[in-house]
Structure formats: structure tokens, C-alpha cells
Amino acid sequence: DAGVTQTPRHEVAEKGQTIILKCEPVSGHNDLFWYRQTKIQGLELLSYFRSKSLMEDGGAFKDRFKAEMLNSSFSTLKIQPTEPKDSAVYLCASSLRGSQNTLYFGAGTRLSVL
Amino acid sequence: GDSVTQTEGPVTLSEGTSLTVNCSYETKQYPTLFWYVQYPGEGPQLLFKVPKANEKGSSRGFEATYNKEATSFHLQKASVQESDSAVYYCALSAPSSSGSWQLIFGSGTQLTVMP
């Protein structure tokens, strides 16, 4: 089975730009997560979808971050407008309901905002 | 609220020595406990999980016991290798305020093993 696929692997943006990160979960998984990873804050939850319904929207990330599940096998994370403090690795993960909540992560997208 | 606290890194060891990464948790629920490992350029991957108290999980020579009384889940390995160099995350799954569930991660422990 293919794992979680994230594209692009690297993204460089100017401050104020709009960027869209993409994620394809493991086929058949019901739950999808977006995390931000930095050395200082570690792993921070941005969004959580269960069967395409938004369950968690990450509180502090609401204003400029928007995740969507366009169908059960594709999700996007839009950051608009980008700021230098958004520079981080963005990780997508999926899980199969009934798997005791085991997450399968993609390799991540490294975003640099200049 | 629920939380996970683990050994502050970085940790540097010589090949062949033993490893302990401490992990303590707080929750009023009955969580499943996890150890994830993240190698450079990759996302975290499951090392092993333990859903029940007083049971042990293990993989690749690593092991941890779910100690409900002490609320601990310390990661141990008797003899580390250079290939074990990675970041290790302790995590727990628990119900969230929205009625679904959440995976709460510790801050991660960077391990470097010198040859």
C-alpha cells in the first residue's frame, strides 16, 4: 500500500503570498491530520478531519490557515497570506478508525517564507 | 488537560551503551500510549504502541512498559547503534473536547549515537 504522499517537498514563498500544500492519505483511511513542526514548538495540530468532516481546526491557526478535504483521498492546506514565522515543516497524517489511533505520516513539506 | 512530558534533549551516546528516554503523562482517561521515531527528512513513524496498562511494547530492540500507577512509559534499549540516531516522540491518544479523539505528543528527544 502507498503511504501518505505530500507535495511539494519544499516550498519557498515571499511574505504575503498564498501557498497550497497537498496531501494524499493512505487509501481507505478515515481520519486526516495536518501538523506543523518546528524545533521550538514541536508538533502542533492544525486540523483534523474525520470522514471529510472538520473535527478540529487548531484554534490559534484559524485566521490564515485553512485545510480542506476535497474528497476522501485528497486534502489541501492553504496559508494566506504567508508570514516569515510560518517557516516550518508541515506534516500530513492519516489513520484508520479502529486502529487504536495509529497515525501514518507523510514526509512533510518544508516551507520557507522570506 | 492531557499532557506528555519527556526527557529534554539532545542526548548523545556511544554505540553499545544503554538508552532510557523518560516519558510521563497526565490524563483522566484510559489512553493508548505510543512511541514514534523520526529520521532526518522523514515524517514520524510508529515504533510501537501499548493500549493496555501494565503491558509492554517493543520493536527493533526498543521497549517500554505502560505503568499506570506511575503514569510513565519510559523508552529503553540495552545497546544503541549509530542507526538509532533520530528524534523520539512519546504520545498518548485520548478523547478530545469535540467528542472525537486527539493524539498528544511530547516535545521529542533528539538522540545521537556516536560510533
Tens digits of per-residue pLDDT, A25-59? 999 998 999 999 998 889 999 999 988 888 877 77
Q: What pLDDT, on a 0 to 100 scale, did the predictor assign at position B62?
A: 98
Tens digits of per-residue pLDDT, B21-56? 999 999 988 899 999 999 999 999 999 999 899 999
Q: What pLDDT, on a 0 to 100 scale, did the predictor assign at position B22?
A: 97
Q: What pLDDT, on a 0 to 100 scale, did the predictor assign at position A98?
A: 63
* Cβ pairs A/B, distance under 8 A: 51
pLDDT score of B4 more than 90: yes
Contact B44/A at CB under 8 A: yes
Q: What pLDDT, on a 0 to 100 scale, did the predictor assign at position B2?
A: 87
How many other CB atoms are there within 10 angstroms of residue A100's CB atom? Answer: 12
Give A100's pLDDT tier (boundaries 50, 70, 90).
low
B36 neighbourhood in chain A, CB within 8 Å: 103
Q: Average pLDDT, whole number, for chain B?
A: 93
Q: What pLDDT, on a 0 to 100 scale, did the predictor assign at position A1?
A: 60
How close B66 gets to chain A, by Cα (Å)?
A: 15
A91 neighbourhood in chain B, CB within 8 Å: 43-44
E runs forming strands in chain A: 5-7, 10-13, 19-24, 31-38, 42-50, 53-56, 65-71, 74-79, 88-95, 104-105, 109-113
Q: What pLDDT, on a 0 to 100 scale, did the predictor assign at position B47?
A: 97
Q: What pLDDT, on a 0 to 100 scale, did the predictor assign at position B43?
A: 96
Any residues with CB less than 8 A from the CB of A66 and at least 6 apart, and which? A77, A78, A80
Any residues with CB less than 8 A from the CB of A8 and at least 6 apart, and which? A21, A22, A109
Q: What pLDDT, on a 0 to 100 scale, did the predictor assign at position B83?
A: 97
Quick one: what percent of chain A has pLDDT higher than 70?
95
d(CA B46, CA B35): 6
**CA A92 to the chain's CA centroid:** 4
